Amino acid sequence: MNAPAITQPFWLLAELTYRCPLHCVFCYNPTNYANIQNELTTQEWIRVMTEARALGAAQLGFSGGEPMLRDDLEILVREARQLGFYTNLITSGVGLNATRIEALKVAGLDHIQLSFQDSTKEMNDFLSSTKTFELKKNVADLIKKHDYPMVMNVVLHRYNLPHVDKIIDMALELGAEYLELANTQYYGWAMENRDQLLPTQAQLIKAEEVVNLYRAKIGKRCKILFVVPDYFEERPKACMNGWGSIFLDIAPDGAALPCHNARQLPGLDIPNIRDHSIREIWYESQAFNFFRGDQWMQEPCRSCDEKTKDFGGCRCQAFLLTGNAAAADPVCSKSPEHHIVKEIVMRAQQTSLPAAHLGVAEHPIIFRTDMNSRKLNIE
Amino acid sequence: MIDAIPDTPTESLPEYPRLNRLFRLQWEDAQQAYVLLYPEGMVKLNLSAAEILKRCDGTRTVTTIVTELEQAFNTTGLRDQIEGMLRAAFEKDWIQ
């Protein structure tokens, strides 16, 4: 039996808060976020960053929730930068005003990724280019003024896929240099809303055609990435590049997670940075060693010649769809439970598309709100 | 049959090469190497690539870089190697 060699962490994701002014239906945050209180203090975050950096982590993402809601963000960025991290801010832009972006620049922030919000009203605003557009336009101008590349991320689903041309037009109008069109991944709130959000194959094909037309037309002006939802694939994603391999996520309450959604997996003893050093967490904790290497794998992964490529896919997806976190990710066509994914996709093809707006489908869509969070998670 | 070699359209190098603003060059203790950091990624550099890129600050011409490195390493004839590396870096958008 070979114990897997433990590599150094590379990515530290600092989920500073689960609080967020938006109510995105595709959010991957846990649906019980409203019960997760007790955010880490500035000093605790500094300790996390210092210890993770000492272990070799070089990339740092400030995320959430909306990280701009932390008024110590500038302090954290400055500390991170002094430690030598490459600092990335992942924000909806709400709260990013002239004063704060100036302070973040001075603090040494390296990079901003502006993500697009989305809910009924917001999406309609967005599609009709009114209020939301103005907000984004202001933020985009600030980003450019401070010599950051304009990187935009828009999450796609069945309601906005037919409008992908408008989305690209708007990104171009905002001066985006990179546009990531990422199809929804089904975790957290997105999982609750999956049957609403999952597109049809025809929609995806059409959208990809549109994207390719734009790519040919705009050339180097803006680089467009189009990420297909993995439910439509035959092989799973190499989730987190392997469990406990490069990715360390610290949740707002100090929970240390091998992936954003690990909290929901059964049998894991999730360590908290309030009780352990990052070194102990990364190298010794039960949770980070649970799916490390390939000893945990079952067939067909165990004997699969692709197991070093995709590591059996996503543990959370395996659990959510098959009930067994050690099973092959059923996205894989080699999985004996691949039919589960096929059936979900098939069902999506048959559901007719509501005319134009969210919320008029048979099952109401569930917005990410504190009230819904509590309702979904009554003990 | 030298004529048969396709005419590859080589973009000429910038006169004063400088690192793309997306990239940061720094020493990484954990890697025991110089690295280029960029959004969500990292490239590990060998020593000669690092020595060349360190000098891409927008104030030096390619010729200055060559001269400096030949002096630093007490040698001559580095131009081809350095230009080759810079061209590769330019294609990857590491330098502008």
Asked if B28 has any chain A CB less than 8 Å from its own CB, the reply is: yes
CB A237 within 8 A of CB A333: no
Residue whose C-alpha is closest to residue A313's, from A329, A301, A324, A335: A329
Whether A247 shows a pLDDT value over 90: the answer reads yes
The pTM for the full model equals 0.89
Q: Do B21 and A151 touch (CB under 8 A)?
A: no
User: What 3-state DSSP class applies to A224?
Assistant: strand
Asked if A58 has any chain B CB less than 8 Å from its own CB, the reply is: yes
State how far the Cα of A333 lies from the Cα of A59, in Å rounded to an integer. 33
**From the CA atom positions of chain B, what is the Rg in Å?**
15
If pLDDT is split at 50, 70 and 90, which confidence band does A68 have? very high
- Rounded to the nearest angstrom, the gap between the alpha carbon of residue A198 and the centroid of all alpha carbons in its chain is 17
| Distance to chain B for A147, nearest Cα, Å | 8
Asked if B38 has any chain A CB less than 8 Å from its own CB, the reply is: yes
If pLDDT is split at 50, 70 and 90, which confidence band does A2 have? low
Tokens of A52: 């993770």
Whether B33 shows a pLDDT value over 60: the answer reads yes
Q: Do A86 and B24 touch (CB under 8 A)?
A: yes
Tokens of A297: 């794998």
- Please report where in the chains the tokens 């297909």 appear, as a residue: A228
**Residue B8 confidence (pLDDT):** 44
Q: Write out pLDDT tens, residues A304-331.
A: 999 999 999 999 999 999 999 999 999 9
Asked if B24 has any chain A CB less than 8 Å from its own CB, the reply is: yes
Whether B40 shows a pLDDT value over 90: the answer reads no
From the list B21, B30, B37, the residue facing A86 with the nearest CB is B37
Q: CA A67, A73, A78, A84 torsion: positive or negative?
A: negative
From the list B21, B26, B39, the residue facing A88 with the nearest CB is B39
Tokens of A154: 């828009």
Mean pLDDT of A109-117: 88
Q: Which residues contact A76 (CB under 8 A, 6 or more apart)?
A: A14, A16, A42, A45, A46, A49, A62, A70
**Residue A228 confidence (pLDDT):** 84
Across A109-123, A280-294, B12-26, the highest mean pLDDT is recorded for A280-294
DSSP string, A53-117: HHTT--EEEEESS-GGG-TTHHHHHHHHHHHTPEEEEEE-STT--HHHHHHHHHHT--EEEEEPP
State how far the Cα of A225 lies from the Cα of B40, in Å rounded to an integer. 15
Give A11's contacts in chain B (Cβ within 8 Å): 40
State how far the Cα of B46 lies from the Cα of B88, in Å rounded to an integer. 14
Give A111's contacts in chain B (Cβ within 8 Å): 22, 39
**Residue A38 confidence (pLDDT):** 94
DSSP string, A274-316: TTS-HHIIIII-HHHHHTSSSTT--TTTTT-TTHHHHTTS-HH
If pLDDT is split at 50, 70 and 90, which confidence band does A126 have? low
**Residue B4 confidence (pLDDT):** 43
**Residue A48 confidence (pLDDT):** 98
Range scoring the smallest mean pLDDT among A121-130, A244-253, B69-78: A121-130
ipTM field: 0.82
Residue whose C-alpha is closest to residue A310's, from A325, A324, A297: A297
Longest CA–CA span in chain B (Å) reads: 50
CB B24 within 8 A of CB A81: no
Range scoring the smallest mean pLDDT among A105-109, A163-167, A341-345: A163-167
